Structure 1
Amino acid sequence: MSLDKIVSISGKPGLYHLRAQTRSGFIAESLTDGKKIPVGLRHNVSVLSEISIYTLDGEVPLRDVFAKIAEKENGEKAISHKVAKDELEAYFFDVLPNFDEDRVYASDMKKVIQWYNLLQANDLLETAEAPAEPAKADEEE
């Protein structure tokens, strides 16, 4: 499964997997508890594949940030998103040393770490990273 089918819905906790399209929106299944909900036009939906993190050099796609966290943690769970702000910033500096401190807030860091842990718990990280790896191999050839 790629990050193209994983969304964050404003006002709803956690992440959701797009399951089916309806006339007025779509049906999403929670990765947390498996409940299915209808999502209409009034909801603000963000697709994870479209989200990037600001750095001093530009923007880094969320997929690459997840890959760096997975590399740092050897594919295991990351730190809790509930730790202190200073600890979050130190962790993020280890993962993404040149992130833009002025435009990436502590709440953004919490979301990224919470999302990583949720995807890791559902075994969705390896399949999310798979499309990025062959592209790198093609560039080297």
Structure 2
Amino acid sequence: MSVEKVLAISGKPGLYELKIQTRSGFIAESLIDGKKITVGLRSNVSLLSEISIYTETDELKLFEVFARIAKKENNGPALDHKASNNELLAYFSEIIPDFDRDRVYVSDIKKVLNWYNILQKANYVTALNASAVTTTGTVTINNEPAIEEAVEVEAETVVEKPKRGRKKKTEDKE
């Protein structure tokens, strides 16, 4: 299981692992129930390794936030994302004391905690602590680098030209 292949797909609940790249998009597997779905090129997809949390001084990669939560919870589950707003803010300020309270909303904190708990149930948390997460924005499938546009599907859309049809024959017999 590779944490660099974990995706959040807009409009779809939970997290997904990138499995196979296809001509029209890619196939992803849900970390919650294991179901595979086909994701088209027009879907808005985010790699978790590319997401950061704003702090007062800089940005903190999401996997570093996950590692801090795992350290605090001894690789166990975090606070439920359905807790009250005050509890969520207090918990998150324990994890990241200098997070930017103007740019990080409670909805963002809920999403981070929900994603962490999904990763924890799918046994990705130990992989977070075992390896340092560094990515360059590309995804490797079967030890071969994939095209970067396949991951950042919202960045570029391929438009195919329609095939030329045969010209209709006109019968002019005069």
How far, CA to CA, are the matches of 1:71 and 1:128 in structure 2? 10
Distance in 2 between the 1:129 and 1:60 partners? 16
Which secondary structure state, in structure 2, belongs to the residue aligned with residue 113 of structure 1? Answer: helix
Q: Is the 2:89–2:106 Cα contact (8 Å) retained in structure 1?
A: yes
Q: Give percent identity, aligned residues only.
A: 60
Residue 22 (structure 1) shift: 0.4
Distance 1:35 1:6 in 2: 14
What is the CA–CA distance in structure 2 between the aligned matches of 1:127 and 1:4, rounded to whole Å?
Answer: 10
Kindly indicate whether the alpha-carbon contact (under 8 Å) linking 1:16 and 1:28 is maintained by their aligned counterparts in 2. yes
Asked if residue 129 in structure 1 is aligned to residue 129 in structure 2, the reply is: yes
Gaps of 5+ in 2: 134-174
For the aligned residue pairs, the C-alpha RMSD in angstroms reads 1.1
- Equivalent residue for 1:136? none
What TM-score, normalized to structure 1? 0.91
Alignment of 1:108-119 (within 5 A): 108-119=108-119
Tell me, what secondary structure is at the counterpart of 1:28?
A: strand
Structure 1 gap segments, 5+ residues each: 134-141
Greater Cα radius of gyration, structure 1 or 2: 2
Pairing 1:10–2:1 present = no
Confirm or deny: 8 A CA contact 2:66 2:128 kept in the other structure: no
Name the amino acid aligned to 2:87.
E
Q: Give the Cα–Cα distance (whole angstroms) in 1 for the partners of residues 119 and 20 of structure 2.
A: 20
Partners of 2:124 and 2:9 in 1: CA distance: 18
